[in-house]
Chain A
Amino acid sequence: MISKFKMTVFAAGLAAAGLYAGASQAEDYNIAFFAASSQNGFNQAIYEGIEEKAKELGNVTTEIYDGQFNAAHQYSQIEDVLASGKFDGYVVMANDTVGIAGAVEQLVAAGKPVVSTLFPIGPDLTTLDPQVEGLTSTVASPPADGAKAQAQAVVDHCKDRDPCNVVIIIGQLIFPFDNLRYEAFREVLDAHDNIKVVATGEGSYSPDVSLTAMTDILQSNSDVHVVLSNADQHLVGAEIALEAAGYTVPDLYLSGGGAANIAITAIREGRWDATLAYFPKTMGSMALDIVVKKLKGEDVPSSVNMDEVGPMPFIITKKELDASPDFVGEWEQ
């Protein structure tokens, strides 16, 4: 009888412990994503990755905040959301990688895990090492490395051509990350005498602006062999301008950036040649995973180089796509 009683108590104790452990595992986490803009395909894809991971983990809820491509707005937003005390951790895609550091320091000071995506936070865009003390992790691609690889692919393409005339369409040179990419392009290309950068235009991440810039550039440059850009959106406009000027686009070397679906299709069709890969959904998923692991007290990496962990090599060409026929871009542009 006593032993029966003891067994019952023991079983009840085990059940209670099990319930407690279950409750501990199922602790709910509320995570905020500060998007550079919520009305942007790339940011939305990051958030899709965050949502998918949250669903997979089961005990995580998420919310997205719209930074409206406005650095000051995003800074205030972070302060307001922190004051609400509603969230356990944060994922940030900064509009101003330097200016936002003050707001991120406040998040860190509150003892919350913070992960930066796409760009590092701090003045040095060439390193993924945390520049804000206490920042949990940076999940990003170093801008200069990708740009150098793109330019090196141009060098390889041009090796039997002299001169090899290159047009660069860059986002906006007032953006530090675009300036860095442009300098990386030039550093590689200018080291080769057969390569002539005949013109540089600003595309402002808009097909329309790129179309105008490329049309004008083609007025004074009649023999273009390569269009090198940091964004697939720019190639959409450049391609239209080239066709209008009588070029057979597949004969040229076109390299963009983003691995948006439109670029994947164009490369598969042989119209474009390469795109520097970005995997926003994977990036968002990894960022959320790191925040949750940190909340659970697990070890997390201080940085994740997306060029090394993406589902495809970071320069995607037809060769890679032929080898992965089911691959689709992680965003729509």
Chain B
Amino acid sequence: MTSVLSSARIARFFQTYAVLIMIALLIVALSLMSDSFLTFRNLQNILNQNAPLAIMASAMTLVIIGGGFDLSVGSIFAVAGVSAAWIALNVDPFLGLAIAPFIGLALGTMNGIVITTLNIHSFLATIATSMVFKGVAILITDGRLIPVRIAEFTWLGRDKIGGIFIAVIVMIAFAVILTFALNRTSFGRKVYSVGGNEEAAILSGVRTDRIKIATFAIAGMAAGLAAAISVSRISMGQPGAGIGMELQAIAAVILGGTSIYGGAGAVWRSIAGVLLLALINNGFNILNADPFYRDLTTGLIILAAVGISASGQRR
């Protein structure tokens, strides 16, 4: 009986922490294969490079826990990024960076209103709005890049405070705030209830439309914030930036262990999902490995992570 209990506990442990186990295995393997991997500089670079995606994945966690999908965050990233670059170039660099999250917030709120007002699935609604937003980004730039070689514009993406990249600090602060909001506020409990059983949430008096709009607004704001960091780092607005980031963010959320059906999940899991994907990419670059094997390896590692999680569920 004791051994059955302990094996069940082990299985549950593996299921719960599959993504962390895979990260630990990758860190050990990459440390053995390259002296350059396990250094403060490299680890900080990984966090810095992936801060925009981690911010977007953190906010996407709320959308998915609430039972939705947001396929427009990549396009919101593009609109906010080119707007930031344009404003920086023509008005003020600081204003450009500051306004990007608010542009994202506005577009995300628009998403939420479209979904709740028209009562259509977020998957379809955000496919449509993503096309609209992408078109807006192209119209703003006329399809061209907007280089912003202004020193006052690059601090967010490149500078450090106390030896830590500002982008990493912003990412950690954002994830902590969202974790607090999810776990310690009535808003967070309502997000879980809407995604877990919307009908029950309505019967319990939860204004589900407002909660949904809020989750999409936060996802939009996160995309805007991520765009500000990214555009500041490369000092250039690109209408094509952000393409595919929505799928990377969703993949990281699901890979981390948040339920695709809604009602369960955590922000830290999505950050872990981002890190797992980032480590594979970093490993290939550091080891100068043949890029033809990158997709194959990434797919196999994702399968392994999902497999560990699923094997726990079967037990």
B-binding residues in A (CB < 8 A): 38-41, 44, 173-174, 198-202, 206-208, 211-213, 215-217, 219-220, 236-237, 240, 244, 262, 332-333
Contact = CB atoms under 8 A, between A and B. Distances in A.
B145 A333 contact: yes
A219 B143 CA distance: 34
Given A44-B143, A219-B42, A262-B147, A207 B236 contact: yes
Interface residues of B, number: 33
A215 B49 contact: yes
A202 B282 contact: no
A213 B241 CA distance: 17
B230 A39 contact: no
A216 B45 contact: yes
B286 interface: yes
Given A211-B233, A216-B286, A39 B138 contact: yes
A236 B286 contact: no
Contact of B143 (A41, A208, A216, A262): A41
A276 to B, nearest CB: 19
Those 5 A-B pairs whose CB atoms lie nearest each other, nearest first: A216-B285, A220-B36, A39-B143, A219-B36, A207-B234
A224 B222 CA distance: 36
Contact of B234 (A38, A220, A240): A240
A146 B230 CA distance: 32
Contact of A332 (B138, B144, B230): B144
* A215, A219, A220 interface centre (most CB from chain B within 10 Å): A219
A240 B145 contact: no
Contacts of A207: 234, 236, 238
Nearest to A266: B149
A220 B288 contact: yes
A173 B291 contact: yes
Contacts of B145: 41, 262, 332-333
A220 B284 CA distance: 11
Contact of A199 (B42, B233, B288): B288
Given A173-B291, A332-B144, 8 more contacts: A39-B143, A207-B236, A211-B233, A213-B285, A216-B281, A217-B288, A220-B287, A333-B144
A213 B278 CA distance: 11
Interface of B: 34-37, 39, 41-42, 45, 49, 138, 142-145, 147, 158, 230, 233-236, 238-241, 281-282, 285-288, 291-292
7 contacts: A44-B143, A208-B233, A208-B238, A215-B45, A216-B281, A217-B286, A333-B144
A206 B243 CA distance: 11
Nearest to A201: B285
A200 B239 contact: no
A32 to B, nearest CB: 19
Contact of A220 (B34, B138, B147): B34
A200 B239 CA distance: 27
B45 A240 contact: no
Contacts of A262: 145, 147
A208 B236 CA distance: 9
Nearest to B234: A207
Nearest to A208: B234
A217 B285 contact: yes
B241 A173 contact: no
A208 B281 CA distance: 14
B144 A41 contact: yes
Contacts of B41: 219
B234 A237 contact: yes
A217 B99 CA distance: 33
Contacts of B147: 262, 333
* A211, A220, A332 interface centre (most CB from chain B within 10 Å): A220
A193 to B, nearest CB: 20
Contacts of B285: 199, 201, 212-213, 216-217, 219
B143 A40 contact: yes
A318 B158 CA distance: 29
A76 to B, nearest CB: 19
Nearest to B45: A215
B93 to A, nearest CB: 17
A332 B145 CA distance: 7
Nearest to A212: B49
A201 B240 CA distance: 21
Nearest to A174: B292
B178 to A, nearest CB: 24
Nearest to B142: A44
B292 A173 contact: yes
A199 B287 CA distance: 9
Nearest to A333: B145
Contacts of A333: 144-145, 147
A174 B35 CA distance: 29
B90 to A, nearest CB: 16
A207 B144 CA distance: 14
B34 to A, nearest CB: 6
A41 B147 CA distance: 13
Given A39-B240, A212-B49, A236 B234 contact: yes
A211 B231 CA distance: 12
Contacts of A220: 34-36, 286-288
Contacts of A38: 143
Contacts of B235: 240
A38 B143 CA distance: 8
A165 B45 CA distance: 22
A40 B141 CA distance: 11
A332 B286 CA distance: 32
B264 to A, nearest CB: 32
* A44, A201, A207 interface centre (most CB from chain B within 10 Å): A207
B234 A211 contact: yes
